[in-house]
Amino acid sequence: MADTATTPVVPASPDPPRPADKASLRMAIFIGGLTLALVGGFGLGRVAGKTPGATQLPAPNPVATASDGHSHAPGTGPHEHVTGPASARVQVGGLAVSAGGYRLVPESTSFVAGRQQPFRFRITGPTEATVTTYAVLHDKPLHLIVVRRDLTGYQHLHPTMAPDGTWSVPLTLAQPGAWRAFADFAATNQGGGQTPSTLGVDLTAGGDYRPRPLPAAQQTATVGDFGVAITGTPVIGSTQPMLFTVTKAGAAAALERYLGAYGHLVVLREGDLGYVHVHAEDQTSNGGVKFWLAAPTAGRYRMFFDFKVAGAVQTAEFTLVVR
């Protein structure tokens, strides 16, 4: 029997790998990278407290209001005459050397402590010309208030004006330090219109300045032989009555008119010395002098009450706390 030849079976070789499509490879890499970027960005947004896809805007800047410059229409503001209860937003004056087109121009602001010197100044108007026409308010065309920055040394003065518009007054700054002078006036125009203004300027008396702390709030004060008591509580934004009663030896003092009224009240805010000149009612009330006052802001104030008895002017001082 002849041998039968067997042909070995050789397994088929697999097809050689086909080269990858370059375009498909680039697309896969792009999609994978984009996915990682989105996931990573979402995570960062959560860490930073931001919502994915939200645009973060910068915080808005504070908007200044017209009252920031303390400007006011004629007949309003720090020299307004209030004679009854009302809602009011009080604007303080005297914070700047110029306002509403008017400017206080002193010849000199340097003084020697304790020595009387002339204080001369001019008021210029919107055209920069020196103002020479003023309305007479409380018997005077201009009131000058001078006080040290720690609210001591209060003076209420009445300068005289030369024909060229230069005001002058003898002035003594008793103690060294920084002082503030307030010019309270109402300029008039050719048509007779009035523009009330209160401008302020710093004065300096050389020497060792030792400011005094503001006294605690109190309802009574003693001035020579007189006792002065106040009743009433000012609040912010609403005029409230304040009654000042003057006594001597336990009896009501015989008040006399001073500058057309039975009393004058200047209120200065601690810190920036914001100025409020409050007018009294025309007649006395139960023997006292009534004012209507609205506080501009919370804080501490010093009140200066001028009154006249037997031909002599006196000033009582009080600390007021408004909350």
* Domains, the chain, with CATH or none: 79-206 (2.60.40.1930), 220-322 (2.60.40.1930)
Look at residue 179 in the predicted model and tell me its pLDDT: 98
Worst-scoring range by mean pLDDT, 20-24, 165-169, 275-279? 20-24
Given a contact cutoff of 8 angstroms between Cβ atoms, the answer to whether 276 and 93 are in contact is yes
Look at residue 89 in the predicted model and tell me its pLDDT: 61
Look at residue 20 in the predicted model and tell me its pLDDT: 46
Give me the mean pLDDT over the 79-88 stretch: 48
Give me the mean pLDDT over the 265-293 stretch: 94
The residue ranking higher by pLDDT, 94 or 62, is: 94
The residue ranking higher by pLDDT, 48 or 8, is: 8
Worst-scoring range by mean pLDDT, 42-46, 77-81, 181-185, 254-258? 42-46
pLDDT at 65 over 50: no
Given a contact cutoff of 8 angstroms between Cβ atoms, the answer to whether 197 and 186 are in contact is yes
Give me the mean pLDDT over the 101-111 stretch: 98
Look at residue 35 in the predicted model and tell me its pLDDT: 38
Look at residue 222 in the predicted model and tell me its pLDDT: 97
Give me the mean pLDDT over the 293-298 stretch: 93
Indicate the pTM of the whole model: 0.74
Worst-scoring range by mean pLDDT, 3-7, 15-19, 59-63? 59-63
pLDDT bin (cut points 50, 70, 90) of residue 85 is low
Look at residue 30 in the predicted model and tell me its pLDDT: 38
Look at residue 186 in the predicted model and tell me its pLDDT: 97
The residue ranking higher by pLDDT, 113 or 56, is: 113
pLDDT at 191 over 60: yes
Give me the mean pLDDT over the 112-117 stretch: 98
pLDDT at 58 over 60: no
Look at residue 54 in the predicted model and tell me its pLDDT: 31
Q: Give the chain's mean pLDDT.
A: 80
**Cα separation, 308 vs 311, whole angstroms:** 6
Worst-scoring range by mean pLDDT, 33-37, 45-49, 113-117, 164-168? 45-49
pLDDT at 171 over 70: yes
Given a contact cutoff of 8 angstroms between Cβ atoms, the answer to whether 316 and 228 are in contact is yes
Given a contact cutoff of 8 angstroms between Cβ atoms, the answer to whether 263 and 278 are in contact is no
Worst-scoring range by mean pLDDT, 20-34, 164-178, 268-282? 20-34
Give me the mean pLDDT over the 119-127 stretch: 97
